[in-house]
Amino acid sequence: MQVFFCCHLFSLESKMAAVFLTWVLVSAIFFEPFVNARPSPVASDKRLNSSDNEHLVTNLPGQPDVDFRHYAGYVTVNEKNGRALFYWFYEATTQPDDKPLVLWLNGGPGCSSVGYGATQEIGPFLVDNDGRGIIYNPYSWNREANMLFLESPVGVGFSYSNTTCDYSALGDDFTANDAYAFLQKWFLRFPLYRKRAFYIAGESYAGKYVPELAELILDRNSADPSLHIDLRGVLMGNPETSDAEDWTGMVDYAWSHAVISDETHQIIRKSCNFNSNDTWSNDDCNRAVDELFRQYNEIDIFSLYTSICIGDAASSDDKALQLMFTRSSTMMPRIMGGYDPCLDDYAKAFYNRPDVQKALHVSDGHRLKNWSICNHKIFKEWSDSKPSVLPIYKKLIAAGLRIWVYSGDTDGRVPVLSTRYSLGSLGLPVTKAWRPWYHQKQVSGWFQEYEGLMFATFRGAGHAVPIFKPSESLAFFSAFLQGESPPSSR
């Protein structure tokens, strides 16, 4: 591969973080009938063209038999620099021609939507806990939509650039522009989806990616109708939204859930100015925030009430990376979003298999790509992060887009308080008051509807809601696509 050097290449680093895969299997057996995987379709369908066939996945090792097609491979977003983004696309399990297209993004920044969203959360194949194979997910979101997962920006997962200076330019705007270029190129490969109803969904730092890409699509739709994308709405889970409110909510949540003492909470509220670009000039603030992280390092910040992973992964040097935290005088401090340290290792083992990389069209099975679930260098060197995307929310609301935000209420990383503080600052009129929503006759959470926006909680779910509540999250996703409120009666 030709590489154009204009600065130093970095090496990918490994990542560990928090939750359990077994709930999916338990819930599949005990709470809903298991959806049996069915035989793979024949590839000679009239909808396929030669370029489709190039990316059709036909021999993924250990894949359960299914009756839908899926595709994976690269889309070049910048020919001059050799920038290419990796995607994995799953057709809907039934009636794919009639169902919308949904793009899913994970954040970090620097973490893989394929490693997390596609194969730990909402895709049809979940990485098994032996690191050698995959299992069928009966609660996959492709039961309701055609699902597109993108590893973005370059340097994440399999996505790459041949021009090394691209890596030093990464930030919010860079990511949005490349994602938009990806979509336009992807539609050339899959023209049947060009005019399809389109939604963007994601979680954690994708709370910034999603509205930023949505805004770009709206602007480009107006500038060039020939490139129109039929964007209908956005869906965001435990999203980073507004730095000051996110930090205040994290501190208040830690105190209200007895993670930190009254004294630590009082010091932070008194000495930390989260609206300032110079937050860390105050020594009292520094020490108190360090104390908050010392306490969170004892448990799982992403899921307060589940056990941490004990074993080689938990005792490795990477354990310290679970709460990667960086201070900056020019940008709001950041904390790496994370998940399960055990599952992360399983995903890494799976995606670095030669036969898997060959099946996904990222290598020939001999010259392998080095895949990691998160690229910590991207996180540490992220140079462009909007302090708040709330102004974009206002723009999306004015455009009439469907905007749903949800929050797992046992997440300490982007807790429900952070999201409530952020959305509260919009000052939107309430159209339907706070009330519970139900799934299988049980309270799944609470929700409230505003003019132009809906906010909901998931009771007992951590940072990556679908891992904890797979059945509930699928039902919620279905309601979102239909534009219907979650069930508010048993």
Q: Which strand (E) or helix (H) includes residue 51?
A: helix 50-55
Q: CB burial class (10 A; 0-12, 13-18, 19+) of residue 194? A: middle
pLDDT at residue 319 tops 50: no
Beta bridge partners of 448: 455
Q: What is the DSSP pairing of strand 430-439 with strand 325-326?
A: unpaired
Task: For residue 205, give every residue at least 6 positions away whose Cβ sits within 8 Å of its Cβ, in sequence order, or none.
Answer: 106, 107, 108, 109, 111, 240, 337
Active-site residue identified among 204, 303, 388, 473: 204
Question: Could you confirm whether 376 is annotated as catalytic?
Answer: no
**Total-model pTM:** 0.89
pLDDT at residue 165 tops 60: yes
What is the separation, in whole angstroms, between the first and last Cα of the chain?
58
Question: How many Å apart are CA 58 and CA 73, to the nearest integer?
Answer: 13
* Mean of pLDDT values over 105-129: 94
Question: How many Å apart are CA 117 and CA 157, to the nearest integer?
Answer: 13
Active-site residue identified among 166, 172, 300, 411: 411
Active-site residue identified among 70, 265, 439, 463: 463
Q: Which of 126, 12, 30 is nearest to 467 (CA)?
A: 126
Instruction: Select the more confidently predicted residue: 193 or 33.
Output: 193
Distance of CA 295 to the CA centre of its chain: 26
pLDDT at 20: 40
**pLDDT tens sequence across 421-478:** 999 999 999 999 999 999 999 999 999 999 999 999 999 999 999 999 999 999 999 9
Instruction: Select the more confidently predicted residue: 6 or 96.
Output: 96
Instruction: Select the more confidently predicted residue: 1 or 421.
Output: 421
Question: How many Å apart are CA 137 and CA 289, to the nearest integer?
Answer: 39
136: phi > 0 → left, psi -120 to 50 → alpha, else beta; which? beta
Q: Which of 406, 428, 404 is nearest to 416 (CA)?
A: 406
pLDDT at residue 416 tops 60: yes
Distance of CA 134 to the CA centre of its chain: 20
The most confident of 17-26, 380-389, 471-480, by mean pLDDT: 471-480
pLDDT at residue 67 tops 50: yes
Sign of the torsion angle spanned by Cα atoms 266, 270, 275, 279: negative
**pLDDT tens sequence across 55-66:** 999 999 999 999
**pLDDT tens sequence across 97-114:** 999 999 999 999 999 999
Question: Could you confirm whether 463 is annotated as catalytic?
Answer: yes
Q: Where are the alpha helices (DSSP H) in 333-389?
A: 341-351, 354-359, 376-381
Instruction: Select the more confidently predicted residue: 192 or 133.
Output: 192
